[in-house]
Each structure stands twice: as structure tokens, then as C-alpha cells.
Amino acid sequence: MKKKLTINDIAAQANVSKTTVSRFLNHKYDNMSEATKNKIAQTIEASGYQPNRQAQTLKTASTHTIGVSVADLSNLYTSRLLKGISTFLHQTKYQMIIMDADNNLQREQNNLQVLLNENIDGLIIQPLAHHPDNYQIIQDNALPTIQVDRYVEPFTWPAVVSDNFQKSVEVAQLLEKNNFKHVIIISNSITGISSRMNRVQGITSHLQSIDISYELLEIENSNDWQIQLQFKIKESSKKVAIYALNSQVLWPIMRVLKASNLKVPQDVGVIGFNDDDLADLVAPGITAIEQQPILIGETATQQLIDNLNQHKSNTDITRIKSKIEIRNSL
Amino acid sequence: MKKKLTINDIAAQANVSKTTVSRFLNHKYDNMSEATKNKIAQTIEASGYQPNRQAQTLKTASTHTIGVSVADLSNLYTSRLLKGISTFLHQTKYQMIIMDADNNLQREQNNLQVLLNENIDGLIIQPLAHHPDNYQIIQDNALPTIQVDRYVEPFTWPAVVSDNFQKSVEVAQLLEKNNFKHVIIISNSITGISSRMNRVQGITSHLQSIDISYELLEIENSNDWQIQLQFKIKESSKKVAIYALNSQVLWPIMRVLKASNLKVPQDVGVIGFNDDDLADLVAPGITAIEQQPILIGETATQQLIDNLNQHKSNTDITRIKSKIEIRNSL
DNA sequence: CTGAAAGCGCTAACAG
DNA sequence: CTGTTAGCGCTTTCAG
């Protein structure tokens, strides 16, 4: 193992003081002779010296690390969000520390405390809770923060999310056009999750205005939702469609329909959010909303870094466009 | 914003020296009076003091951070691997810094350098390259390392991977049982990726022994693989099956079959790795190999941490069992 | 144009 | 049982 070199070693080898080396490292060439500059450059090059990040941090109080708190690490939406963040960060001097809240409020709190202890320069959070009071700790530490996918209310930090409301209005219009008369909106827990709430608000606002009936099925609150769903569809006298608020419910729904021999779209229409890119392969081809999680991640990261660098300080909600892919399930 | 407290503040408030506070922080109660212990505990509790990690690190040369280098951040396999790592780490004092190589060797090298600069205590790597020489930098720094999903050869660091060879032998047996006479093995680039190489070796070793013909189609080397594939299937006089070495090729293959009206399993059998959990929903239900990436992540992390703590120092390849789910595509 | 010296917050001899 | 002191590797006044 190579012995770790320090700034002192370089200073000694280059016959200058460590102050000068430090200046070189930080590109403060204001008044530095070409000679010394070259000499230092050479010895650093030759030795492969790398400054110690922790020592720099201790002195400058900037870790060049940003924290990322995600709701659940193990799904493709998250994965792509992270890809976007990583892609943007790659061209900066920042690293990321990712923490998984695992959909657990207590764990999310712990994670934030850990991130704070790490002295992160900024935070990207996909919040589990809906009220900023849950994140007092962020405010107390005046931590530069940006939200992704969801946001707390009242408004506290900028956010980058999908165009959930607007796209859900379009879903309603599409259902109307296809003559559906009743809509079952299905989601896992909605309470406090702005993206899902916005989706419900979007579709219901339009359905109400055109007199199409609807109901909400929150499947985390029920153990027999599969039975209920079959029953609702089979007993309905109206032409019924399902709006699945995310892929975590869309695929289980498709399994239920398949198992109970309900044909799509003959017996029931289906539209939902497709986070796995396989909606085209699931028979009969599911009409689905495609979000842009990578772009959300990139955009959020850019805004956060810009904010840290004082280039500007965005404080708004940015809505990233998603797209409805028409297939054969309506 | 609360002013950041230091160990000096606590020492002053508790009327002890900072040494004593430090000892308390590090649970060195050997000879500490209950009185001071309580006093310190109280003032820390009351003030919400949290020690500065960078300062601790500078002194102890341990960051309690482990680096994670993944091949590609944006797929579900990776996502679950990370979930496993995160789950295990959560019960330790270690944090993780994740770096995405984005399937780019140069970028992987940069990432390793960055991680080294961060003074990580250990590394979990899903290596892009197959020869340890590519990772000289890890060896130079004697960085405790464990490989996941794939490994370099000759043997250098312990690894936790799927039972790729064994499971591929079973695939061959299954194809034999179902009377297939020709197998098209399809993958994206195989060279240097041990998991894929093991899969090829596993299936071909058995096919050879029972005289079933096979061929390999590496779709990263060809732009017209879709055409080729159709042609091979339609022109074959034998009963042919496809073995898709991962989901990134499995789903595109299914799209081709669908588009060219080739019926599964009548015209061609299909078996492949299912990393997205949707193999049952894709008609006619794809017989697939299910890996356990979460368990791989957990196991690898445990081994690494055990190694760091000197509990033991595993130096072998650990193979995590996967499972073949029989459906209707063979 | 460059260096000496102080100090970031913490830990670990060593001393008592 | 507890405190004094030095120092981890770096940056930053301040002085020259």
C-alpha cells in the first residue's frame, strides 16, 4: 500500500511552503511565479498526491456532498431518479449519499439526522410526510433543500415533480372520449402524498364537470380489495374503467383481472402509470402515462447546485411533462 | 439556524475537559464517575449536540463510509442490490456513497479515484472489467473490497453472485425435457462479464453432452439482430428455444416475437432472467429465472463489514440461489 | 511573490 | 478518575 501523501510531503519535495501548495490546489494563482507553479504541478503529478477531503472539509466547512433521501430504494422510478441525480452530479465536484426511508417515517427522520451529521451541503428529498413540521430539523439547520416527486404543504422548498394534475385531467378526457361511464381510481395510500393527491384531484375535477361517476379504492386500507374490485366491475351496469395511480398497483390489478377472467378493454378499461416500461408487453397493451424520472432528477439537482452556487435561487414548483401512450386497454 | 455546537461547548457547560467528553462519546466509561457521566449525558441531551464526523475522521482515519460502485444505476436489479446493501448498513454505523459507472470503464475508474479520495473504509463493486489489473488502484490502496453480481479473474477479492452456472445447467435440462432441439442464447455484450459467461458455460456444457445444438447471439454487436432472430426461427427445421441472459434482452426479444407474429411457445420457446417481476404478465407467461439481488446485497455487505471488523475474513465466492419459475413459454 | 502560524473539532498518549 | 497537550491535513489571515 502506498503511504498516503500529505500536503507537507509535496511542499518538502517541491521546496515551497505548504501554503503555496494549498494555493496551487485551490487555483489561487494570482501572484504565483510560473516556476513554482510548474514545480508544484510536476511533483503532484509525479507523486499522484490527492488532498485529504476530510481535512479540507474541517477547514472550509463544505463537504461537497449532497444527501438524497428517497421513499423506497427498490423500484424503477427511484432508480431512474437517482440516475438523473448521478448524471448531473457527475459533472460537478459533488458526491451523493443516498438514504432509503423504506416508506417509514421514523427511519426517514433518522436518515435526515445522519445526513446532517455528515454535514451535507444540500438535500434532495422525496418526502414521506406532507407537512413541513415533519421536517423541522431541515429548517433548524437552514439546509438548502429541493423536493422531488412530491412536496410538502404549505409551500416551503422548491420542488420538481410530474405534471400529475394536468395529465390526470387528460386521462379523464380520454375516458370520456371512449365512453366510459364509471371510473375506479386505485392507489396505495394516498394521504399526504402530493403526487397521488394531485392525480386524484386532476381526474375527479374533470369527471365531475362531465357527470361521470367515480370512486376511490385505497388498497393499503383493505385486505380484500381484489374481491371488491372484481365485484364492482362485474356488478356495474355502466361501462367501467380503472385508473391506476402507479405501477405498484397497476400490475397487481392486471393480475386480478387475469385471474378473474375479466377482459381488457371489453369488460373493463385500464389506464395507469407505467414506471417499468413494460406496459406495451402486457396484454392487450396498456394505455399508460410515462413520466420522466431521470429528467426530474437532473432538473432538481441542477436547481439545488445552482442554489448552492448562488447563481440563482429558484423557489417554485417545476412540473416535468409526462406523456400518455395510447395502446389497447381503453 | 442553530449554531453548531462543538465538543468544547459541551465540555464548558458540563464543567469537564473535552477529553472527558470525548471519552464519553466513545463509550470509554472504564473509570468515569457516575456523576460526570450523567452530567455529560444531560448536557448533550439538552443541547442536541452531535459530534462533527469530519473531525473524527481526520483523527481516527476511519470515515465509516463504504463506497458502492454499480455498473448501471437505472435498472431494477441494481436497485434491489442497493436495497439489500442499504438494509444491512442501516443497522451499522456505516454510510454508503453510491457511484454509477454507467457501463463506462473510464467513468468507473474516475469513480474509484473519487471514492478513494473520500477515504472510504471499504468497497462494494459490480465490476465492469474482468481482469484485476483494471483495478490496480484498489490493490495499491489495500482497500477492503467485495464484488457483487460478477467477479474478476484470476481470483482477487471475495464475491457474492447468483448461481449462474448451475441454474443454466437446469435450464438446459428443462429445454431437453421439453424436446427443444436448438437453442439460441441471446445476450448483450458477454465479454468479461462473469455472470453472463457463467450462464453461457452452464447451458452449453449440458447441451453439448446431450447433443442439442445451440448458437450465441450477442446483440450489442449487431444492428439487425431482430431480423436475424426472426430468420433463424422461421428457417429452422428443429424445435427452437431462446435463452435470454437478462431482462434487458428478454423484453426486446418478446417485442420482436410479437411484432413478427411468432407464437410462444408454439413457434419458439422462451426462457430468460426476470429482473422486473412481470414475467407472469407477459403473454403467455414467461418461464423465468428469478434472482435474489436484495439478498446478494445484504450478504455482500455483511461480509465486507465483518471483514472490516476482523470478525472473519471471507475470501470465497458465495453463490446465492435463484429459482426457475415455470410458466407457459416452453 | 511566498511563508509562518493559528486553528477547524476531535482523539489519544501521557501525566497526575 | 480526569485534565494537559499534541497533532490529524488542510486553509487562511497576516506579515514580509
Residue A181 has pLDDT above 70, yes or no: yes
Length B330 CA → C13 C1' (Å): 71
Per the structure, the residue whose CA is closest to nucleotide D8 at C1' is B59
Beta bridge partners of B95: B65
Residue A36 has pLDDT above 90, yes or no: no
In this complex, do B283 and A280 lie within 8 Å of one another by their Cβ atoms?
no
Query: Tens digit of pLDDT for each residue in A110-163?
Result: 999 999 989 999 999 999 999 999 999 999 888 999 999 999 999 999 999 999
In this complex, do A1 and B52 lie within 8 Å of one another by their Cβ atoms?
no
Of A221 and B7, which is predicted with more confidence?
Answer: B7
How many Å apart are CA B137 and CA A134, to the nearest integer? 43
What's residue B311's pLDDT?
Answer: 67
Residues A199, A240, single domain; the answer is: yes
Q: For residue B47, give the CATH number of its domain.
A: 1.10.260
Question: Best interface-test mutation with B: which of A53, A97, A247, A270 has the largest number of B CBs within 10 A?
Answer: A53
In this complex, do A97 and B100 lie within 8 Å of one another by their Cβ atoms?
no
**Which strands, in side-by-side order, build the sheet including B287-290?**
B213-218, B182-187, B240-244, B269-273, B287-290, B323-325
3-state helix, strand, coil in chain B (%, to 5): 45, 20, 35
Average pLDDT rounded to a whole number, residues A96-112: 95
Name which of A152, A97, A105, A101 is nearest A121 in CA terms. A97
What's residue B1's pLDDT?
Answer: 45
Query: Tens digit of pLDDT for each residue in B243-281?
Result: 999 999 999 999 999 999 999 999 999 999 999 899 999
Q: Residues of A with CB below 8 A from B83's CB?
A: 73-74, 100
Structural contact between residues B298 and B320, judged by C-beta atoms closer than 8 angstroms: no
In this complex, do B251 and A278 lie within 8 Å of one another by their Cβ atoms?
yes
Length A108 CA → D3 C1' (Å): 40
Of B57 and A88, which is predicted with more confidence?
Answer: A88
Name which of A265, A254, A283 is nearest A180 in CA terms. A265
How distant is the Cα of A311 from the closest Cα of chain B, in angstroms? 22
What's residue B221's pLDDT?
Answer: 74
CA B181 to chain centre: 34
Structural contact between residues B78 and B23, judged by C-beta atoms closer than 8 angstroms: no
What's residue A1's pLDDT?
Answer: 45
Q: Residues of B with CB below 8 A from A96's CB?
A: 97-98
Per-residue pLDDT band for A309 (boundaries 50, 70, 90) equals confident
Beta bridge partners of B98: B68
How many Å apart are CA B250 and CA B253, to the nearest integer? 5
Name which of A266, A256, A246, A251 is nearest A328 in CA terms. A266
Q: Using a 7 A cutoff on CB, list residues near strand D.
A: A 4, 6-8, 18-19, 22-23, 25-26, 51-52, 55-56, 58-60; B 15-20, 23, 31-33, 35-37, 55, 58-59
**Dihedral Cα B87, A152, B99, A275, nearest 10 deg:** 80
Per-residue pLDDT band for B3 (boundaries 50, 70, 90) equals low
CB atoms within 10 A of CB A168: 24
Residues A81, A109, single domain; the answer is: yes
> Considering Cα of A274, then A277, then A281, then A282, what sign does the dihedral take?
negative
Residues B156, B304, single domain; the answer is: yes
Residues A145, A48, single domain; the answer is: no
Residue A67 has pLDDT above 60, yes or no: yes
Q: CA separation (Å) from A140 to A11, A143, A144, B221?
A: 41, 8, 11, 55
C-alpha cell at A71: 421513499
Residues A280, A133, single domain; the answer is: no
Residues A210, A287, single domain; the answer is: yes
How distant is the Cα of B200 from the closest Cα of chain A, in angstroms? 26
| Crossing angle (nearest 10°) for helices B76-90 and A76-90 | 90
CB-based contacts of A41: which residues, under 8 Å, 6+ apart?
A: A24
Q: What percent of chain A has pLDDT over 90?
A: 75
- Please check whether residue B303 lies inside any domain of the structure: yes
Within an 8 Å CB–CB cutoff, is residue B118 touching chain A?
yes
Query: Tens digit of pLDDT for each residue in B15-44?
Result: 888 888 888 888 888 778 888 888 888 888
- Please check whether residue A329 lies inside any domain of the structure: no
- Please check whether residue B269 lies inside any domain of the structure: yes
Given A17, A33, A57, the domain boundary residue is A57
- Please check whether residue B2 lies inside any domain of the structure: no
Partner-chain residue, chosen from A1, A73, A119, that has the shortest CB–CB distance to B79:
A73
C-alpha cell at B16: 469537564
In this complex, do B119 and A80 lie within 8 Å of one another by their Cβ atoms?
no
Length B241 CA → C15 C1' (Å): 79
Residues B90, B26, single domain; the answer is: no
| Crossing angle (nearest 10°) for helices B293-308 and B76-90 | 40
Residues A168, A285, single domain; the answer is: yes
Consecutive H or E run containing A221: none
How many Å apart are CA A17 and CA A24, to the nearest integer? 11
Length A18 CA → C6 C1' (Å): 14
What's residue B286's pLDDT?
Answer: 97
What's residue A31's pLDDT?
Answer: 75
Q: What percent of chain B has pLDDT over 70?
A: 98
Length B65 CA → D13 C1' (Å): 33
Q: How many separate domains does chain A show?
A: 3
Range of weakest confidence among A101-115, A178-192, B43-57, B115-129: B43-57
Residues B284, B170, single domain; the answer is: yes
Q: What is the pairing mode between strands B95-100 and B65-70? A: parallel
Residues B12, B43, single domain; the answer is: yes
How many Å apart are CA B266 and CA A284, to the nearest integer? 19
How distant is the Cα of B127 from the closest Cα of chain A, in angstroms? 18
What is the 8-class DSSP label of residue B78? H
Domain range enclosing A20:
7-57
Is the Cβ atom of B177 within 7 Å of strand C at any atom?
Answer: no
Total count of residues recorded for chain B = 330
- Please check whether residue A2 lies inside any domain of the structure: no
Of B3 and A324, which is predicted with more confidence?
Answer: A324
Contact residues, A window 137-176, toward B, CB-based 8 Å cutoff: 140-142
Q: For residue B132, give the CATH number of its domain.
A: 3.40.50.2300
In this complex, do B281 and A294 lie within 8 Å of one another by their Cβ atoms?
no
Partner-chain residue, chosen from B51, B83, B99, that has the shortest CB–CB distance to A73:
B83
Burial annotation A125-163 (CB, 10 A radius, 16+ → b, else e): bbbbbbebebbeebeebebbbbbbbbbbeeebbbbbbbb
Mean pLDDT of chain B: 93
Residues B225, B269, single domain; the answer is: yes
Within an 8 Å CB–CB cutoff, is residue A114 touching chain B?
yes
Residues A286, A185, single domain; the answer is: yes
- Please check whether residue B236 lies inside any domain of the structure: yes
Partner-chain residue, chosen from B52, B54, B281, that has the shortest CB–CB distance to A282:
B281
pTM: 0.93
Structural contact between residues B149 and B205, judged by C-beta atoms closer than 8 angstroms: no
Average pLDDT rounded to a whole number, residues B184-212: 96
Residue A59 has pLDDT above 90, yes or no: no
Average pLDDT rounded to a whole number, residues B1-6: 70
Q: Residues of A with CB below 8 A from B282's CB?
A: 278, 281-282
Query: Tens digit of pLDDT for each residue in A127-141?
Result: 999 999 999 999 988
Query: Tens digit of pLDDT for each residue in A250-268?
Result: 999 999 999 999 999 999 9
Per the structure, the residue whose CA is closest to nucleotide C2 at C1' is A20
Partner-chain residue, chosen from A100, A118, A277, that has the shortest CB–CB distance to B53:
A118
- Please check whether residue A256 lies inside any domain of the structure: yes
- Please check whether residue B1 lies inside any domain of the structure: no
CA A251 to chain centre: 21
Q: What percent of chain A has pLDDT over 70?
A: 98
